[in-house]
Structure 1
Amino acid sequence: MPYEIDDNTPKLFRPLSIRGVTLRNRICVSPMCLYSLASSGPSTGVLTPLYITTIGHNVFKGAALAMIEATGVQPNGRITPHCPGLWNEAQQQGLQQITDFIHSQGGLCGVQLSHAGRKSSTQPPLVAQQLGKSSARASSDDGGWPDDVLGPSGGVEQSWDGKGLDLSGGYHVPKAMTEVEIQQLVSNYARAAERAVKAGVDVLEIHAAHGYLINQFLSPVTNRRTDQYGGSFDNRVRLLLEVISAVRAVIPESMPIFVRVSASDWLEDTEIGKKLGSWTVESTVQLVKLLPSLGVDLIDISLGGNHHQARFNVFDGGVKHREIALTIKQTLQAEGSDLLIGTVGLITKAQQARDLVQGSPISGPGVDVISIGRQFLREPDWVLRIADELGVDVAWPAQLQRLRPGPSARI
């Protein structure tokens, strides 16, 4: 927090209250997968102290909210066998250790609840790279679940990379979920939310982006169902709305819910997009208008990840995130909606971050929060550095006071 807030303090460094919590600034730690947890035994999916030195360290140095990476609400919902889960007591206790540390540093902790769908049971990227692949399947010998990979639709054509049973493929062939499995999934989201509350988490984010299961249900490219969960827009968004309602019903009214969405499949101009349709920015605007009445507080705008033929992927789509997030913000504000908007991706510079949140009378309103991922991995001091560049006198950790730059150093 700045020592003093006046008319010259950038909005980026002003606090933001959402329901019963207050972010000390508008800078969040984006959920970033570490692929570093036990894949078997009693510690399966249990967070370790590594998360204090990575995610927690960024809060120690000024970030307001740290979001724990995609966390499976059931065993087959993890991206890899080495990803976190939140379906048992041990995982809840592991999460609480991280939450306790983040709170001790004056920050907030969030957890991103997820199911990876047809992108599950893969190897950690480092393993895939050693095999010369961008992705590799995790077999049962690797702790994976090749026979229990699920999606809205099934069959060889529904493998993420389109390679089906080809041994060079990096993804398993999914099975179409039954309606019973869908209802069990909704219940598991609620149970994981209850565990998060018990672990002291401040914010919940529902992962509906990057080609994971809920994103797969949203898109007509990956959702070829003919029942109440497929076909029309209303049917394709049904799972997400049911998950939100189930989670809101079991958590305190004071706890915010965020939803991360891929605002576009980036398939509109591709052969498959023209044939099957695509999830578009217009689809996202239509969706987000439904969410405030269900108790959602913030939409976290990202892009891509749902199909290998997309024009942009999760890693290079950041060039478009900001533009789309601002467009959605302006659209909602013009309609009188107070839904908060966040975004992520390739935010590295002080002035860039400031202007993205600040907005202007000419460009319109800015976003409400930003999430920083890769830049925190490169530069854990990022919040402190950009505060100095922007002339904001923020509190430094007491242990680091002698490193504080400039004549305003508080020794």
Structure 2
Amino acid sequence: MPAKLLTPFTVKGVTLKNRIVMSPMCMYSSYNEDGMVQNWHRTHYVSRAVGQVGLIILESTAVTPQGRISTQDLGIWNEEHIGSLRQLVDLIREQGAKVGIQINHAGRKAVVEGEILAPSAIAFNDQMKTPKEMTKAEIAETVEAFKQAAARTQKAGFDIIELHGAHGYLINQFLSPLANHRTDEYGGTAKNRYRFLREVIAAVKSVWDGPLFIRISANDYHEQGLTTSDYVTMAKWMKDQGVDFIDVSSGGVAPIQINDYPGYQVKFSEEIKHGAEVSTSALGLITSAVHAEEILQNDRADLIFLGRALLRDPYWPRTAAKVLGVELESPKQYKRGWN
């Protein structure tokens, strides 16, 4: 059986040349605090496209200044961001990769000046700021911010949008009973806690017709938190709303030490993939081609998201192809040294 890792994957009319994805990883490199793309981003992302990664998803990109994880985050909260993002998209696409962007609001995990917002006025930990509980008007404004960010994404020419619903940021805060203690229609039951995400998905899809991914935290690692079975139910709701792909991560909504090991999140991906009948990612300390291939061949996920492995080696796809006995086409400029 041929190596699946290096075969194409199509999602809603967008075909990736292989199943290797650069996972969104914060670079904290917008040094002027204006959210603009810098030369670092152009070097960092384009080099992985040269290395033959199939899909590159840009780091968490803030839908409002107040919703940044840090003041050095990339932004997509105004029209001025479109031009430099468009240039970056073009540079990456020239090297044969598809391009996605992860749009996000950090909620109570924002480390910025001034007031921060969350579903409930509960700090993440003793060292972080206590957020203001969002009013319904502020919820509506934030939903609109996601919508406008998606519209700008369309103008910038991205292939894929990923909503960041994981790692304890705003969408995840609404979903989890650990962070959402509201008593109105946005809190309490699972359907109520899902309401904010439901509204964000609907708003984004009103201006975006391309593939829509969502990153989730499939386990809160807390006895009163959410588990993978909860997310199987929610993944069905997401799928019914037209979400095309679930990017399965875990943790981050509570300050809990996670026992991580190679592939520790794959079981969550497998359960959601088959339980909700939806395409999923596998990620989390996956470093070897053989491990990645096993996951795909055993139908445990559809794409392999790599983080630290691609930080260490921008040409990881070349190494993987050699291990799996597959010939991977090189950039023409590198032919003399590729093999």
Asked if these proteins are the same fold (TM beyond 0.5), I'd say yes
- Which structure 2 residues correspond to residues 139-218 of structure 1 after superposition, within 5 A? 144-145=112-113, 147-154=114-121, 158-161=122-125, 163=126, 169=127, 171-218=128-175
**1:357 alignment partner AA:** L
1:73 equivalenced with 2:73 (yes/no): no
TM-score by length of 2: 0.97
Shift, 1:207, TM fit: 0.3
Whole-angstrom distance in 2 between the partners of 1:300 and 1:219: 17
Shift, 1:331, TM fit: 2.3
- Which structure 2 residues correspond to residues 210-229 of structure 1 after superposition, within 5 A? 210-229=167-186
Whole-angstrom distance in 2 between the partners of 1:317 and 1:232: 33
Contact 1:117/1:151 (CA < 8 Å) preserved in 2?
A: yes
1:383 equivalenced with 2:317 (yes/no): yes
Which residue of 239, 257, 265 corresponds with 1:292?
Answer: 239
Relative distance call for 1:39 and 1:117 in structure 2 (3 A) is farther
- Aligned residue in 1 for 2:14: 21
**1:300 alignment partner AA:** D
- Aligned residue in 1 for 2:329: 395
Which residue of 328, 331, 339 corresponds with 2:275?
Answer: 331
Relative distance call for 1:404 and 1:319 in structure 2 (3 A) is closer
- Aligned residue in 1 for 2:53: 63
Whole-angstrom distance in 2 between the partners of 1:89 and 1:57: 27
Contact 2:235/2:272 (CA < 8 Å) preserved in 1?
A: no
- Aligned residue in 2 for 1:312: 258
Which runs of 5 or more residues in structure 1 are unaligned? Answer: 1-7, 122-143, 164-168, 269-276, 360-364, 406-411
1:33 equivalenced with 2:23 (yes/no): no
Deviations 1:134-156 (A, max 9, x none): xxxxxxxxxx32x32111101xx
Whole-angstrom distance in 2 between the partners of 1:296 and 1:317: 29
Give the CA RMSD over aligned residues: 1.3
- Aligned residue in 1 for 2:285: 346
**2:23 alignment partner AA:** S
Relative distance call for 1:278 and 1:318 in structure 2 (3 A) is farther
**1:264 alignment partner AA:** N
Shift, 1:9, TM fit: 2.4
Whole-angstrom distance in 1 between the partners of 2:50 and 2:80: 25
Shift, 1:319, TM fit: 4.3
* SS of structure 2 residue aligned to 1:291: helix
Shift, 1:352, TM fit: 0.2
Shift, 1:318, TM fit: 6.0
Which residue of 263, 275, 280 corresponds with 2:218?
Answer: 263
* SS of structure 2 residue aligned to 1:71: strand
Deviations 1:82-125 (A, max 9, x none): 0011011221112111100111011111000100001002xxxx
Shift, 1:39, TM fit: 4.1
Which runs of 5 or more residues in structure 2 are unaligned? Answer: none
Contact 2:70/2:110 (CA < 8 Å) preserved in 1?
A: yes
Shift, 1:36, TM fit: 0.9
Contact 1:303/1:317 (CA < 8 Å) preserved in 2?
A: no
Contact 2:30/2:37 (CA < 8 Å) preserved in 1?
A: yes
Deviations 1:328-360 (A, max 9, x none): 22323xxxx3x211121101001001111111x
Which residue of 44, 53, 56 corresponds with 1:54?
Answer: 44
Which residue of 230, 249, 259 corresponds with 1:283?
Answer: 230
Relative distance call for 1:185 and 1:101 in structure 2 (3 A) is same
Whole-angstrom distance in 1 between the partners of 2:150 and 2:261: 29
Deviations 1:5-59 (A, max 9, x none): xxx421211111111210001111000111011344xxx0011121121122111
Whole-angstrom distance in 2 between the partners of 1:311 and 1:152: 23
- Aligned residue in 1 for 2:204: 247
**2:110 alignment partner AA:** S
Whole-angstrom distance in 1 between the partners of 2:215 and 2:262: 14
Shift, 1:404, TM fit: 2.1
Whole-angstrom distance in 1 between the partners of 2:24 and 2:100: 9
Contact 2:228/2:271 (CA < 8 Å) preserved in 1?
A: no
1:102 equivalenced with 2:95 (yes/no): no
Which 4+ runs in 1 deviate beyond 6 A? none
Whole-angstrom distance in 2 between the partners of 1:39 and 1:182: 28
Contact 2:55/2:100 (CA < 8 Å) preserved in 1?
A: yes
Relative distance call for 1:39 and 1:153 in structure 2 (3 A) is farther
**1:202 alignment partner AA:** D
* SS of structure 2 residue aligned to 1:76: helix
Whole-angstrom distance in 2 between the partners of 1:197 and 1:355: 35
Deviations 1:202-227 (A, max 9, x none): 00000000000110111101100001
Identity %: 40
Contact 1:49/1:98 (CA < 8 Å) preserved in 2?
A: no
Contact 1:245/1:294 (CA < 8 Å) preserved in 2?
A: yes
* SS of structure 2 residue aligned to 1:301: strand
* SS of structure 1 residue aligned to 2:149: helix
* SS of structure 2 residue aligned to 1:34: coil
